[in-house]
């Protein structure tokens, strides 16, 4: 899908993307694979070259934040410390981008890694090793908690334990984040938003980002239920927004899980079509959190299932046509720079 780029000069920090090579892992999953995994097969190899090709398609992407995805772990470090390998790899990508050979783009200016918080207070050693692997860029962790009683929603590779964010040992590990001034990214599914509310209230001084608008569900046993569940989702979003330590990422809605669109890449959705699908969710989040605690994200390459990179950002820009210049500066770059402490890229 090719479109004219809207507002091509608007500076954007993309605060949520991945880099990985899933090809060695694919044979580990038996056929037929779960559909969510199948949506990732076309982008199984997504390293800096592929990402650079996407971010240079017309929008003014000035910097990005890498989000952990279990890639390039180093098993030689042992089970607890193997996620350090991912941060080491991404720090190299960031240095590659910062070399100037790729223009002014500062890819991976912020890095969010992973540490298993169910190790309790012992996870402090891992957090320190992650920071040491990239002291100028490492900002925090994501320990995803996505779970649903219907196993077809995510498939076995992606399910976390139920109510992970309420677990006492998890919270013992979570406390180590706050001690180090790090942030936490929360990926859960829409019915689990109350778990994030409870976590945010228990740790009011730890910065938390809710990924993907809380991941509304429109597939498996949730097929056709987006409208039915919207009021519950909206109520929980408003409750979460009352926690001053929480921000929200506006995006992730092009994932297969959300069914917005249902058809996926074969449909060739336009930005106008996506705007209509996403408006109720994006506008609710902005109304709840305000323009100073929300940030647009690409969630690439996962969201490629429903939108090309230029079309995705065009859809976001259509949703903010009535916003002021100050509001756009915050939603597209300023809030991400502040939350992930990369303000220097705006200087």
| Mean pLDDT for back-to-back runs of 10 residues, the chain (347 residues) | 91 98 78 72 91 97 97 96 98 96 96 98 98 98 96 80 97 98 98 98 98 96 97 98 98 94 80 97 98 98 94 98 98 98 92
Q: What pLDDT is attached to residue 341?
A: 98
- Whether 66 is covered by a domain: the verdict is yes
Q: What is the largest CA-CA distance in the chain?
A: 52
- Whether 28 is covered by a domain: the verdict is yes
Q: What pLDDT is attached to residue 23?
A: 85
Which helix (H) or strand (E) segment is 142 a member of? strand 138-142
Residues whose CB falls within 8 Å of the CB of residue 127, separated by 6 or more in sequence, listed in order: 115, 141, 176, 177, 180, 182
- Whether 6 is covered by a domain: the verdict is no
Burial of 99 (0-12, 13-18, 19+ CB in 10 A): exposed
Peptide bond into 301 cis (omega under 30): yes
- Whether 21 is covered by a domain: the verdict is yes
Give CA separation, 299 vs 121, 123, 231, 304, in Å.
30, 27, 25, 8
- Whether 288 is covered by a domain: the verdict is yes
Tell me the residue range of the domain where 32 lies.
Answer: 11-346
Q: What pLDDT is attached to residue 157?
A: 66
Q: What pLDDT is attached to residue 1?
A: 57
SS3 192: helix
- Whether 102 is covered by a domain: the verdict is yes
Q: What pLDDT is attached to residue 306?
A: 92
113 bridge partner residues: 141
Q: What pLDDT is attached to residue 327?
A: 98
Q: What pLDDT is attached to residue 151?
A: 87
Question: Residue 111's domain is classified under what CATH number?
Answer: 3.20.20.140
Give the predicted TM-score (pTM) of the model: 0.96
- Whether 3 is covered by a domain: the verdict is no
- Give the number of domains in the chain: 1
Q: Which of 332, 339, 330 is nearest to 316 (CA)?
A: 332
Q: What pLDDT is attached to residue 39?
A: 79
SS3 216: coil
- Whether 2 is covered by a domain: the verdict is no
């Amino acid at each position: 899908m090719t479109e004219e780029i809207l507002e091509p000069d608007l500076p954007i920090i993309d605060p949520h993307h991945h880099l990985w090579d899933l090809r060695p892992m694919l044979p580990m999953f038996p056929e037929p694979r779960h559909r969510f995994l199948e949506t990732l097969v076309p982008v199984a190899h997504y390293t800096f070259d592929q990402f650079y090709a996407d971010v240079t398609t017309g929008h003014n992407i000035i910097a990005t934040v890498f989000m952990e995805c279990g890639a390039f772990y180093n098993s030689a470090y042992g089970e607890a410390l193997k996620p350090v390998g991912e941060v080491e790899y991404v720090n190299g990508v960031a240095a590659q981008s910062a070399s100037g050979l790729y223009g002014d783009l500062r890819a991976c200016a912020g890095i969010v890694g992973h540490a298993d918080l169910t190790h309790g207070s012992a996870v402090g050693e891992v957090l320190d090793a992650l920071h040491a692997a990239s002291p100028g860029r490492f900002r925090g962790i994501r320990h995803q908690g996505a779970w649903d009683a219907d196993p077809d929603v995510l498939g076995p590779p992606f399910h976390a334990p139920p109510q992970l964010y309420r677990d006492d040992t998890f919270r013992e590990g979570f406390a180590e984040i706050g001690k180090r001034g790090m942030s936490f990214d929360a990926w859960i599914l829409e019915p689990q938003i109350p778990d994030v509310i409870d976590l945010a209230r228990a740790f009011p001084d730890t910065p938390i980002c809710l990924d993907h608008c809380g991941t509304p569900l429109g597939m498996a046993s949730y097929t056709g239920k987006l409208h039915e569940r919207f009021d519950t989702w909206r109520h929980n979003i408003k409750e979460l927004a009352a926690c001053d330590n929480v921000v929200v990422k506006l995006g992730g809605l092009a994932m297969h899980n959300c069914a917005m669109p249902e058809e996926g890449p074969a449909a060739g959705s336009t930005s106008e079509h996506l705007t209509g699908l996403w408006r109720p969710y994006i506008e609710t989040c902005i109304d709840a959190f305000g323009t100073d605690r929300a940030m647009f994200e690409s969630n690439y390459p996962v969201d490629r299932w429903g939108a090309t990179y230029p079309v995705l950002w065009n859809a976001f820009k259509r949703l903010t046509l009535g916003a002021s210049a100050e509001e756009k500066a915050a939603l597209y770059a300023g809030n991400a720079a502040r939350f992930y402490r990369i303000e220097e890229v705006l200087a």
